Amino acid sequence: MKSTLREYFPILQSRKEILKKIHGKKDLEEVFDRWEVKQQEEFLDFCTGARGVKMLYDFCAKAILNPEVYPERIEELISLLLGKKVRLLKVLPNDNTRIADETSLLIMDFLVELTDGSIANVEIQKVGYAFPGQRSACYSADLLLRQYRRVRNQMTKETFSYREISNVYTIVLFEKSTPEFHTFPDQYIHKFRQRSDTGLKIDLLQEFVFVALDIYREKYQNKNIEKRLDGWLTFLNSDEPEDIIALIEKYPDFKAMYEQVYEICRNIEQVMGMFSKELYELDRNTVRYMIDELQEEYQKQKEKNQRQKEENQKQKEENQKQKEENQRQKEEIEYLKEQNKKNREENERLMKEIEHIKHILG
């Protein structure tokens, strides 16, 4: 018989219990009735365990992955993504360098300092922004400048050395990645580091890790969890009950994180408010994403039109040159015709003179 999440999490409430609480309060009932049927079912499935927890809901991620409360979780996730053991020293305040509209697409965004002095910026995005490379490079540059200022302020002018500036890591996880990532359908983690074309090794300090969670979900759906990183990506990605059961049986410590969320779900009034906010943000994100897509499509069409315009102008110039060449050839032909006519007339005159001379001599 197929196992259910309620067997593993007795704290989960039944659908009947939840509906009783909702219909027992007028304000909750009004909120519930405003939702579409699909959203109502999603909420009930979420709270009863009929489906698993979507850990990328904003309130879930922030409860589970708060680096100030659970630094060991963030240490492990960053270590697995960087491929080396790191220790978290402290959480740093974010600079106010984000574009205002961007915050609506971020599930989480935190900055941590590691014990080796390096800085890691971790983002989880609902929908990937257009131009992810350019954007990440800009924020990485901000981090590097922040490192420079921090070290510069800690040292005197005489003792300052650039060797004291540590690496900056930009780690971005996409719930829905941008189109360029889907040109590599078998790869879901991409690491970038600046390298020389000659083999010369110079530490340029900036490293990037991009994780396309949607590609991982498509590629590894219903496959065995073999590594710890697979466990984390499944945890962040999947709300399939069978995946959650497989995960907590392979790595039991993840069970405590699910229990945290299910404890939140017992407070129906609170979780309904947070779910309503999720729906609102989803609508905003969808609109924003559509705007970004339309802007990108418009830009591509604009560039295409410009290329066509340039090609048309080039063709027009070539046609004009051809027309001028045809005119020149036409004039040359007319000139040659005129010369031929003159030559014939001259020949005829000479022939007449010869005939006349013959007649005189005759």
pLDDT digit of tens for each residue in the chain (362 aa)?
456 898 999 999 999 999 999 999 999 899 899 888 988 898 899 889 888 888 888 888 888 999 999 999 999 999 999 999 999 999 988 765 554 444 556 778 889 999 988 999 999 887 777 678 888 898 899 889 988 988 888 887 778 888 889 999 999 999 989 889 999 999 999 999 988 999 999 999 999 999 999 999 988 766 788 899 999 999 998 888 999 999 999 999 999 999 999 998 888 888 888 777 777 666 555 545 554 555 566 567 777 878 888 888 888 888 888 888 888 888 888 888 888 888 888 888 888 888 878 778 76
- pLDDT the model gives residue 99: 45
> How far is the first Cα of the chain from the last one, in angstroms, to the nearest whole number?
135
Q: Do the domain assignments include residue 247?
A: yes
Residue 173 β-bridge partners: 124, 211
| Closest residue by Cα to residue 35 from 309, 199, 280 | 280
Q: Do the domain assignments include residue 318?
A: no
Q: In total, how many domains does the chain have? A: 1
Burial 322-345 (b: 16+ CB within 10 A, else e): eeeeeeeeeeeeeeeeeeeeeeee
Element (H, E) at 210: strand 206-212
Q: Do the domain assignments include residue 272?
A: no
- pLDDT the model gives residue 100: 43
What's the CA gap between 339 and 326, in Å, rounded?
20
Its domain, for residue 104, covers 52-266
Q: Do the domain assignments include residue 291?
A: no
- pLDDT the model gives residue 333: 87
What's the CA gap between 73 and 67, in Å, rounded?
8
Q: Do the domain assignments include residue 171?
A: yes
| Closest residue by Cα to residue 186 from 229, 163, 215 | 215
Q: Do the domain assignments include residue 73?
A: yes
Q: Do the domain assignments include residue 292?
A: no
| Closest residue by Cα to residue 189 from 209, 214, 168 | 209
| Closest residue by Cα to residue 18 from 42, 48, 51, 40 | 48
| Closest residue by Cα to residue 123 from 107, 135, 137 | 107
